Chains A and B, each alone.
Chain A
């Protein structure tokens, strides 16, 4: 089945620093990847849609200058949390959709990244 790999699985950083999270589709090509965030006991909230070769589309209320998204290839999207603050501490999850239209499958998710900002 489709595999989405996310790295790192957890990271602790100091306030004011930047953190990069990678999302890779391992056995399929993904023109579109999605970045979600989950706070404790809350639902997964879509942050942005990452499109290969073009600018990401951000959901309302998500700061694009703070959460930089790059989708440089059909198998890799990165999310960089810039100038992280403690309130950015959360669980970040990516998902991907295959470029193959005959690949009749729902979105597949990575295992997530637990970010803790101290």
Chain B
């Protein structure tokens, strides 16, 4: 049973527009959520995170929103740039984010010039 779900395997947006990547989770014990960006044949690179005590965290063009009641989080990228094209993984942890992570299957984002 997958505890972290990214139901959209791919997303395509135009440069300059907003990209919204979604993630749902089932384990109510998760207290920390992270987004990682991954290029082929490379390890994931940390993007942004959010603690369960918050509902929004912003870092430059990246904003993560958390809806605990819906067990849903989303990553907003605005404006989207071609360099943002990659696979984005949502991950969750029950121990503050520095212990083992449970990953979703990823969403491949393509930003078209």
Residues of chain A whose beta carbon lies under 8 Å from any beta carbon of chain B: 4, 6, 9-10, 32, 34, 36, 41-46, 49, 91, 93, 95, 97, 105-112, 114
Contact = CB atoms under 8 A, between A and B. Distances in A.
Interface residues of B, number: 23
B103 A44 contact: yes
Contacts, number: 59
Secondary structure dominating the interface of B:
loop
A111 B43 contact: yes
A106 B43 contact: no
Secondary structure dominating the interface of A:
strand
Q: Which of A9, A41, A107, A108 has the most CB of B within 10 A?
A: A107
- Sorted nearest first, the 10 A-B pairs with minimum C-beta distance are A109-B43, A43-B103, A43-B105, A44-B103, A111-B43, A112-B43, A109-B44, A97-B98, A93-B43, A110-B43
